[in-house]
Structure 1
Amino acid sequence: MSSKISRDTLFETTQNVLNYSNQEKKRNFVETVELQIVLKNFDPSRDKRFSGTIRLRYIPKAKFTVCVLGDESHCDEARANNIPAMTIDDLKKLNKDKKLVRKLSHQYDAFLASDVVIRQIPRILGPGLNKAGKFPTAITHSDSLVQKIEEIKSTIKFQAKKTICLAVAIGNVNMSVDELAANINLSVNFLVS
């Protein structure tokens, strides 16, 4: 696979980052490794803004929580796999209360919703989840819940808005050099293409 970054440079810098965070400056939590990119010859006011998602080979965030908003069968499957789940009745108890919806959106990193339930979410919860950028991803009964969650955990999103800088989480300090380098390589190649 061709790359825009030389393999030696990538492995050397990745090793330096991991050594610094694991030996020299050890923290009491798992640090996230973030890739920051400055776009040259790009004027956000003139040029077209872009966004894109890519699935990484390894899950970047250690503690990524997903909640299932679903019908009975999806909620039962989620509970069987120790995944937090809420039914329509649980959502109706929030009663469009902005504070409760905001609290729910802060509690989880992403949401999955049954294809039957997803149409009712804006009516039941209001715009809270959408404003937080956490509108649920649809799941059907033929999808495997565990596989869909793994897919969401390993997907990152690039968005160029009004600034020329992009920042995206691509790993954590508990990953090996090879895993982190593979994630960096994938994301840089995706951005360049």
Structure 2
Amino acid sequence: MSKISPQTLSEAIQAVLKVDKERKFKESIDLQVNLKNYDPQKDKRFSGSLKLPNVCRPRMTVCLLCDLVHEDIAKKEGVPTMNQEELKKLNKNKKLVKKMCNQYDAFLCSESIIKTVPRLVGPHMHRMGKFPTVCS
């Protein structure tokens, strides 16, 4: 694979974004980057998260799965929370977990309880693509 100039890349993106006709579904564009002479399994230099300058989804709803320490802080900020006791009440019930997943766009989880989440809710959150991201 050869190197692509930034101008060629921007022209290709503009051609893709050019509106041909109205579509009745949301479209997404994926950009795949391959690095030469880099093994992602051995070298973890590029792992991490990235903060975007603009909000992607302004009405995104997030729920915090947390312990009691983080629950008090989140309640003060107005963030919806669920603690371990509330997760235990779901009891791996597929319908209740699905209902919870449909209420929120994403889930964050305290480091202290992230290992217990799969035991409490089962594999259903992962199947729906809503498995929580660890926050500290």
Q: Which residues of 2 match residues 151-170 of structure 1 at below 5 A?
A: none
TM-fit CA distance, 1:37: 5.4
Match status 1:113 vs 2:118: no
1:5 to 10, 26, 46: 10
> Cα 1:68–1:37, aligned 2, differ >3 Å: closer, same or farther?
closer
Structure having the higher Rg: 2
More strand by share: 1
Which runs of no fewer than 5 residues in structure 2 stay unpaired?
Answer: 1-5, 20-25, 33-48
Deviation of 1:54 after TM superposition, in Å, equals 5.7
- Aligned equivalent of 2:95: 99
Matches within 5 A, 1:170-181: none
Residue 109 of structure 2: SS of its match in structure 1?
strand
Higher helix share: 1
- Per-residue CA distance 1:47-82 (angstroms, 9 max, x = gap): xxxxxx864321111211110000011111111110
TM-score by length of 1: 0.48
| CA distance in structure 2 between the partners assigned to 1:97 and 1:78 by the alignment | 26
User: How far apart are the structure 2 equivalents of 1:139 and 1:113?
Assistant: 6
- Write the deviation string for residues 74-129 of structure 1: whole angstroms up to 9, x where unpaired: 11111111000011011111111100001111111111111111100011110111
Which ranges in structure 1 are unaligned for 5 or more consecutive residues? 17-32, 40-52, 141-193
CA distance in 2, matches of 1:69, 1:129: 12
Q: How many residues align?
A: 108
Match of 1:36 in 2: 29
Which structure carries more relative contact order (alpha carbon 8 Å, separation 6+)? 1
**What does residue range 1-193 of structure 1 map to in structure 2 within 5 Å?**
2=6, 4-5=9-10, 34-36=27-29, 55-140=51-136
TM-score, L = length of structure 2:
0.66
Instruction: Please list the CA deviations of residues 13-66 of structure 1 after superposition, one character each: whole Å capped at 9, or x if unmatched.
Output: 79x8xxxxxxxxxxxxxxxx7543599xxxxxxxxxxxxx86432111121111
What is the RMSD of the two structures over their aligned residues, measured on CA atoms?
3.0
